[in-house]
Chains A and B, each alone.
Chain A
Amino acid sequence: MKPEVLKKLFFQMLRIRILEEKIAELYSEREMRCPVHLSIGQEAIGAGVCANLTPKDYVLSNHRSHAHYLAKGGNLNAMVAEIYGKETGCCKGKGGSMHLVDISAGFLGALPIVASSIPIAVGVAFGSMMRREKRVTTVFFGDGAIEQGVVHESINFAVLKNLPVVFVCENNMYSVYSQFSVRQPAGREIFKLFAGHGIDSYQGDGNNVMEVYQMAEQAVRKAKSGNGPTFLEFKTYRWLEHCGPNYDNDIGYRTESEFQEWKQHCPLRRLKDHLLDNGILFNKGVDDMERKIIIEIDNAIAFAKESLFPDDQLLLQDIYDL
C-alpha cells in the first residue's frame, strides 16, 4: 500500500482516538448530556472503509458512529457542538451523539435503533440506482444487529436488485453486556451466514487497517461497477463500556485479561509500528500529527462550549417540512 495512504489512515485513526479520549475525559463535567457510545479500539474499521469513499458516496451508521462520521469527513465542530446540545450542532442539538449527520460529507445519518439504518441504506442505494447515479452506499452495524430480521429482509432485497451497497459488520462480540454465545449459535460465523443469502461475503481482522482498507476497496469497486453488494465482517473489540466514558472490565460480564489481550492488538499501535519499522513515519511525524489534532480538537471543544443552546422557538420548528 502507498505510504501516503498509510499515513492518512494513521492520521485518521489517531484523530478519532484522541477525540474519543477527550470526550471520555470531559464527560464528567456533565455538559455533554447525551449517551455516548465511543469507538475506542474500533477505529480501523471506520478509517479503513471510509478512505475508499468520496463525499458523493453515502454512509449510514448506528449508535457507535463517531469513527464513521469523522472518517467520512464529517465536520468536527458540528459533531462536538451537537454532543454539547448546542444549536451549532449538526442537528441543532435535537439529535445528540446518537444522531450525527453531515450531508455535505455524504454521512446521511446515525440511528440508535439497532439495525434500523440497514434497510434505509439499502433504500438509499436503490434510490441512487433509480436515479442512475454512480454512488456506493455503506452501512455500519454490529454483531447484535444481524439478529434483527430486518437485516435479512434488507440484504435479500439488495441481492435481488443487485444494489451498490457495502455492508460492514463490526463484530466486537458484545451487545451491551450480552456475550456472543448467548445470542448466536457457537461455531457459526456471521459472514458465512450471509453468504447463504447469495451475497459475496468476507471476514477480516478489524484491527488491521490495511486489511480493512483493501477489502473495502474491492467491495467499493465492485459496487461502483454495477456488480452488486458485498458483506464484510470485521472482528474487533470495544475498549470502553457500551455507553459512557469508563472502563468496566471489572463488573463481571467480561474480564480484564480479555481486554488486555485485545489491547495488544490495538489498531493504532499496529499501524504505527509498521510505519516506524518501515521508515514511512518517524516519531517526530507522529508528534506533529498529534499536536495538530489536539489543537483542532481543543478548538472544537471551545467552539461547542461557547456556542449557544437552541432558542426556545426551535422546539416546535421542523416537525413538518412546510
Chain B
Amino acid sequence: MINREIKCFQAINEAIDQCMVSDPSVYIMGLGVPDPKGIFGTTSGLQQKHGSDRVMDMPLSENGMTGVAIGSALAGMRPIMVHQRIEFALLAMEQIVNQASNWHYMFGGQMSIPLVIRLIIGRGWGQGPQHSQSLQAWFAHVPGLKVVMPSTPYDTKGLLISSVEDNNPVVFIEHRWLHNITGEVPEERYRVPIGKCKVVREGTDVTVAATSYMTLEALQAAKILAADGVNVEVVDIRTLSPLDESTIIKSVRKTGRFIVADTGWKKAGIGAEVVAMVSEKAFSELKSPPLRVALPDCPLPATRSLANKYYPRAVHIATTISEMIGHRKDYTTAEILGSVLLDIPDPSFTGPF
C-alpha cells in the first residue's frame, strides 16, 4: 500500500474527521475551532463537513467549558476540547484534576469520562512567558489522566484516534513546530497504542529518551555524533502516562548510558520522573549518572537574543552525550553552529503564531 506523505496538522485533521465519521457521539469544541485559520489547520473544513452542532466555537470560559465537556461525557458524548496554547488550560485545572481524572475512581468505577483535551505547546517568534510553556509534567503527575505527546505525523494521527477511542480523560499535547513536518500517514483510520514508547533509532553507546520536538532534536544529535563514531539510540517516549518503563529499561540495559530530553523545565520535569525510574530499576546497568536535557528553570523570555540562550537543541544534546562518554567535544561552538538560527524551526513555521 502506497503511503502518502502529509503534514502533521493534516494528520490531526484527518484523525478528528475519521473519528467523527465513525462515531456520532464525538464532537470537538475550542476557541477558534471554526476559524478561518482552523487552529493551525487542524480543524479546517470540519465544521463545513460535520456541522456546527458537532464542531463548535466556545465562550472564553475554559474552566466552565471543561466542566461542560465532562458533563456531556457523562451524558454519553465523546468530547474533544482544544486549547491553542497549553496555558489556557490552566484556567481549567480544577475540572481536569479534581473532576475528570478522579471521576472513575471516586465513584467506584461506575462512570467514565472519555474526554480528549488537545493542548498545543510551542515556542519562537517572541511568544514569551505565557505562550510557550511546556507543562506536561503537571498532567503526568495525576493518576487517572493519560498524557500523550507524539512527534511524527504517523504517531500523531494514530495516537489521537486511540485517545478519542479511550474511555479515560486524555491530555494530548501537540507541538506547534511539529504541525508542519511531513511524514508517511496511512489514509485509513488506524490506532497507535497509548502507553508504548518507540525506539526510533537503534544504537549501542547511549540511550536518549525524548518527548515531542526534542525527539527530532535527539535524532539530529544522533546524526551529528554518528560522524564522530558515537552510536546513539533514540527512544520516542510518546506516552508520558502511563509510562512504558520496559522499553526504556531494555534500551538502558543495552547501552548503559541514559539521557532524557524533554521540552519542559528541568526541575520536577518529565526527565526527573524518567531518570528516577531508570535509577530505581536499572542502577547496576548504568555506567555513569543519568542526565536531563531540559529548559533552564526560569520563565521564558520573549526577546530572541535571550531565547537563543534558552532552548537546548541537537548541539546541546550532542555535547551532553559527548561529555557523558568522556569525549568532551563541545558541539555548541560557533563554527559548528554556523548560521543556524535558534529561534526558528522548520522553514515552514512563520509567525505570527
Contact = CB atoms under 8 A, between A and B. Distances in A.
A153 interface: yes
B163 interface: no
Interface residues of A, number: 43
Given A149-B63, A154-B67, A320-B144, A123 B112 contact: no
B220 interface: no
Contacts of B109: 92, 317-318, 321
**Residue with the highest number of chain A CB atoms closer than 10 Å, among B53, B64, B74, B107:** B64
Residue in A90, A99, A109, A156 whose Cβ sees the most chain B Cβ within 10 Å = A109
A127 B63 CA distance: 17
Contacts of B77: 127, 130-131
Contacts of A99: 106-107
A295 interface: no
A313 B70 CA distance: 28
Interface string B239-256: 000100000000000000
Contact of B105 (A118, A120, A121, A319): A319
Contact of A130 (B59, B72, B107): B72
Given A103-B110, A160-B59, A119 B104 contact: no
Q: Which of A101, A156, A319 has the most CB of B within 10 A?
A: A319
B68 interface: yes
Contacts of B64: 119, 122, 150, 153-154, 156-157
Contacts of B168: 320-321
B336 interface: no
Interface string B8-41: 0000000000000000010100000000000000
A91 B69 CA distance: 23
A116 B92 CA distance: 11
A119 B72 contact: no
Contacts of A153: 59, 61, 63-65
B75 interface: yes
Interface in B115-148: 143-144, 146
A130 B27 CA distance: 10
A91 B110 CA distance: 8
B61 A157 contact: yes
Given A101-B110, A113-B98, A119 B76 contact: no
A124 B76 CA distance: 9
A157 B25 CA distance: 20
B95 interface: yes
A95 B104 contact: no
Given A91-B107, A92-B108, A123 B67 contact: yes
Interface in B81-112: 94-95, 98-99, 103-112
Contacts of B70: 119-120, 123
Contacts of A89: 108
A320 B104 contact: yes
A1 to B, nearest CB: 32
Given A116-B99, A150-B67, A153-B65, A127 B73 contact: yes
Centre residue among B58, B71, B72, B111 by max chain A CB count within 10 A:
B71
12 contacts: A94-B105, A99-B106, A109-B111, A116-B95, A116-B98, A120-B71, A123-B70, A127-B77, A150-B67, A153-B61, A153-B65, A154-B61
